[in-house]
A and B are shown apart, each in its own frame.
Chain A
Amino acid sequence: MFRLEARTSTPAWFNLALPLVAIATTLILCSGLIAVTGAGVIEAYGVMLSASLGDSYAITETLVRAAPMIFTGLAVAIAFRAKFWNIGAEGQLLAGAVASCFVGAIPMPGYLAMLLMALAGAAAGALVALVPATLRVKFKVDDVVSSLLLNSVIYYALMALIEGPWKDTFSGYPISPPIEDSANFPVLIEGTRLHLGVVVALIAAPLCWFLIARTTLGFRIRVTGENPEAARYGGINVQRVLLSTALLSGALAGLAGVGEVGGVHFQVMSDISPGYGYSGIVVAMLARLNPLGVMPAAIFLAAVMTGAEAMSRATGVPAFLSDVIQGTALLAMLVALLFTAYRIRRVGASS
């Protein structure tokens, strides 16, 4: 007989082992889908790996795609640490993209433009995230639903802008005017798309780790999430912590949008984010809400996305496999997390 038993503590190696188990499970489950198409499983995954991490150009492409997911992953991880259920990273990203594109279109010296784009994008994302947080703090409105619904509001607002007053007059498509050339984020390695924003994302992760693990605000965020009663008893203004968390989380998600505008698309279109906000939830969960873990988790998802396109060309397996992998990885990780709360014990027939 086996039974589940509550765990009091979890060993540190779980942080690494659980996501790896979840990812391995996901890849095994999804190999069934590859087999259904008639393609070779090893071959398909092989192409996926080599096309995403096989050479230096592929690695830069994967990093470019990882950058927005590092930001949204950090946004979700920090929010979830405080148990502020921010499902709205997608909308916050879009708001950040719009605001930074507005600023980037104003003629001014390049580096000043980039700085102001980042500030405007972060502020826009933070403002959007402040809505569900304020509603929760002031009116006890469920943040899960309100932050989710705001995504649709922001999306339609963006569409109204680029199909209406903000539409690029030189384009037949609903697309915003481009930012100034001088505001385009510098490319770090010639011949690739690796832009300055990617480096900022890679630096943001350890900074967020430091903030969560080593600062007073980080401590407050953790205590508020783990035990709001104790936090209150200890003199922490829980409501204020929730609002600060929302500002921080929204700003990070906004920065994801800034990077896409400044470094990849240079303008705003309806599909500027293929769901990076939702992917952020997958990233954060795989990272066990640890900002340092967000980096590898985002790079993993980015590699799957980049690799899936090449795999599709080479083997005919639809590239949408990457979407299935993303969803499966999230569900597998959630199940794996059960092992942090419970352990399976073998018990004798007598007990």
Chain B
Amino acid sequence: MSAVFEQIFQVGFLAAIIRIATPLAFATLGEMFSERAGVLNLGIEGIMLLSAMAGFTAASLSGSLWLGVLVAVLTGALMGALHALFTVALGLSQHVCGIGVTLFSSGLAYFLYRLIFGQQSVPPSITGFKPVPIPLLADIPVLGPAVFNQFTLVYLAIIAVPLAAFVLYRTPWGLSVRMVGENPRAVDSAGVSVIATRFQAVILGGALMGLAGAFLTMAQFNAFTFGVVSGRGWVAIALVVFGRWDPWRSAGAALLFAFVDALQLRMQASGLGHVPYEAFLMLPFIFTIVAMAVMSRNAVAPSALLKPFRREER
């Protein structure tokens, strides 16, 4: 009997890790594409929030969850395009623009949500995605129910990691992205448009951030609240650095963070923790700051990060 209980416990714990990691993986991959092209996107926190709101609203009004996901992705892409317009086309400072995009998008999300749904004591909710077991794989003990009996969006995240690595390292476009992030002058003289490539990478990044937002309101919480993102965007910024701007490492960092977060939730629920749960939530940020100091000797950040590209300045 206790063995059965233990197994359920482990399955639940593993499944929780996967679910916490999914939106972080999308957001982290999104930020990574943007930064690999040389554009820091501090708009991520607001972009996730606005996408989460837009997706939830679309799903709630139309009754179609996938339409909601599409709207969230398009919203993310649109806000990515806005950030690119300011930072790439106009060459404005990336960090200040990013804060501007976050302030603007979160303000707009709050405003539109309140306008559409009014002030309600219980936030309206939707019936979110249901787990879809994958035949055969879901029957594997422990791992099966935890990993292969999940939302479709979770499978999408699992596929997105190798796909992102493939796109970044094995396709001509990925090469352009990496080049515009390292040495835009060289790419420019090779006839690749720095501006266009950066735009594409930031828009793709925004779309991925939109997926992260969609997961929050349509699979994880099935409702929109003002704190639905609550710093996950900033966590993604940290994870990209911690994952050294690499899709695999970044996804690994997301899993590690999700593990710590799931552990923290479990300890909180069981009332075991003598350590305040905030200590766990702080960890990824502290780790990243320390990691940045340690890694700074071997510069791994894209060298053109934060640097606008202006053709006439040579």
Which positions in A face B, CB cutoff 8 Å?
33, 36-37, 85, 87, 131, 135, 138-142, 144-146, 148-153, 155-157, 159-160, 163-164, 275, 278, 281-282, 285, 318, 320-328, 330-331, 334-335, 337-338
Given contacts A164-B276, A281-B96, contact A323 B106 (CB under 8 A): yes
Is there an interface contact between A160 and B279, defined as CB atoms closer than 8 Å? yes
Is there an interface contact between B111 and A150, defined as CB atoms closer than 8 Å? no
B244 to chain A, nearest CB (A): 13
Bound-state CA distance A347–B231 (Å) is 48
Which single residue of chain B is at the shortest CB-CB distance from A330?
B100
Which single residue of chain A is at the shortest CB-CB distance from B93?
A334
Is there an interface contact between B237 and A149, defined as CB atoms closer than 8 Å? yes
Which positions in B face A, CB cutoff 8 Å?
40, 42, 46, 86, 90, 92-93, 95-97, 99-108, 110-111, 114-115, 231, 234-235, 237-238, 241, 276, 278-279, 281-282, 285-286, 288-289, 292-293, 296, 301, 306
Given contacts A160-B278, A318-B115, contact A330 B103 (CB under 8 A): yes
Contacts of A331 in B (CB 8 A): 86, 97, 100-101, 104
Is there an interface contact between A335 and B86, defined as CB atoms closer than 8 Å? yes
The contact of B114 among A140, A155, A275, A320, by CB within 8 Å, is: A320
Which single residue of chain B is at the shortest CB-CB distance from A322?
B107
A123 to chain B, nearest CB (A): 21
The contact of A150 among B114, B237, B241, B289, by CB within 8 Å, is: B289
Is there an interface contact between A334 and B92, defined as CB atoms closer than 8 Å? yes
The contact of A327 among B105, B293, B301, by CB within 8 Å, is: B105
Bound-state CA distance A131–B237 (Å) is 18
Residue in B86, B107, B306 with the greatest tally of chain A CB atoms within 10 Å: B107
Q: List 29 A-B contacts (CB under 8 A).
A: A87-B42, A135-B289, A141-B289, A141-B292, A142-B301, A145-B238, A145-B288, A148-B234, A148-B237, A149-B238, A149-B285, A155-B231, A156-B279, A156-B282, A160-B276, A164-B276, A275-B103, A282-B103, A318-B110, A321-B111, A322-B107, A323-B111, A324-B111, A327-B46, A327-B100, A330-B96, A331-B86, A331-B97, A334-B100
Contacts of B301 in A (CB 8 A): 142
Which single residue of chain A is at the shortest CB-CB distance from B293?
A139
Is there an interface contact between A153 and B285, defined as CB atoms closer than 8 Å? yes
Which single residue of chain B is at the shortest CB-CB distance from A312?
B114
Bound-state CA distance A331–B292 (Å) is 29
The contact of B104 among A85, A324, A338, by CB within 8 Å, is: A324
Which single residue of chain B is at the shortest CB-CB distance from A333?
B100
Contacts of A159 in B (CB 8 A): 278
Bound-state CA distance A36–B116 (Å) is 11
B302 to chain A, nearest CB (A): 11
Residue in A145, A324, A328, A330 with the greatest tally of chain B CB atoms within 10 Å: A145
Given contacts A321-B111, A327-B100, contact A145 B90 (CB under 8 A): no
Bound-state CA distance A140–B301 (Å) is 12
A310 to chain B, nearest CB (A): 16
Bound-state CA distance A71–B93 (Å) is 23
Is there an interface contact between A323 and B97, defined as CB atoms closer than 8 Å? no
Is there an interface contact between A144 and B40, defined as CB atoms closer than 8 Å? yes
Which single residue of chain B is at the shortest CB-CB distance from A4?
B312
Contacts of B90 in A (CB 8 A): 335, 338
Given contacts A285-B96, A323-B103, contact A146 B289 (CB under 8 A): yes
Is there an interface contact between B95 and A144, defined as CB atoms closer than 8 Å? yes
Is there an interface contact between A327 and B96, defined as CB atoms closer than 8 Å? no
Is there an interface contact between B278 and A163, defined as CB atoms closer than 8 Å? yes
The contact of B107 among A153, A324, A338, by CB within 8 Å, is: A324
Contacts of A330 in B (CB 8 A): 96, 99-100, 103-104
Q: Which 8 A-B pairs have the closest CB atoms?
A: A327-B104, A323-B107, A327-B103, A320-B110, A324-B107, A160-B278, A318-B114, A330-B100
The contact of B42 among A36, A148, A152, A321, by CB within 8 Å, is: A148
Contacts of B42 in A (CB 8 A): 87, 144, 148
A6 to chain B, nearest CB (A): 8
Is there an interface contact between B296 and A139, defined as CB atoms closer than 8 Å? yes
